[in-house]
Amino acid sequence: MIGLEYILQLYGMQHQDLAEKLGIRKQNINLWIKGKQDISKKFLPALSDMFGIDESYFQRELDDLDKLFIQKEKIKKDLKPIIVRNNIGLSLGKDADLIDVPIYDVEEMNKIEIEIEKAIIISDFKKFVSKINDTNEILRYKQLNIILNKHGNEETVIDTIDGLSHHYDILPDWVSGGLVQDKFLQDFLPLLKYYEKFKDLKDIDIDIDTFD
């Protein structure tokens, strides 16, 4: 579904109503939506102003993330949510830092923000998995899927993910999960470094006493 069609459905606007607002024939709207004619560039700014949505959305095929962004803009336009406070969040990666996460007085806005974050993760994971052609890699991600589905909320899994994130600089050193996780990292990170140092060897004889 192209953006214009989805936006009209979301706003409950008929083709004839939009045509009248733009001063053109209904047939033009029908041709745009059916993809038989590109939306004239002179009308894109008017559409953007009318719905409060970036011009790039109107003519392209939408994915789930696009639809959520459009829903968010509609909520902003209709309900005019106000930030009532900021929660503390964390950006990830090399330049990870504490960030403000806005909380709005309109619950629909808070929910759509969460749905957008989830959709971004799903989209990224789909792109990554779609590139896999090796059966061993597929098996590995099946394992990961089972682990996350069955044990994703268990502390062992959470601490392991955080440990890997520290190892690969996704989480900075100053991020701490408390005394128990700090002890886990104290034992886990040296083991990862030791393994990576010798991972190209066929036989790895790890002396567990090294990590006591």
Per-10-residue mean pLDDT of the chain, 212 residues long, equals 95 95 93 90 93 94 95 95 95 89 96 96 91 91 94 93 92 87 90 79 55 50
State the pLDDT at residue 78.
Answer: 93
Classify residue 72: in a domain, yes or no.
Answer: no
pLDDT the model gives residue 207: 58
Residue 67 lies in a domain: no
The answer to whether residues 46 and 108 belong to one domain is no
| Residue 34 in domain | yes
If asked whether residues 106 and 156 sit together in one domain, one would say no
Structure confidence at residue 201 (pLDDT): 62
Alpha-carbon span 29 to 18, nearest angstrom: 8
Structure tokens at 210: 């090294």
Same domain, 108 and 154: no
- How many C-beta atoms lie closer than 10 Å to residue 108's C-beta? 15
What is the domain extent for residue 207?
133-212
**Residues 113 and 94 placed together within one structural domain of the fold:** yes
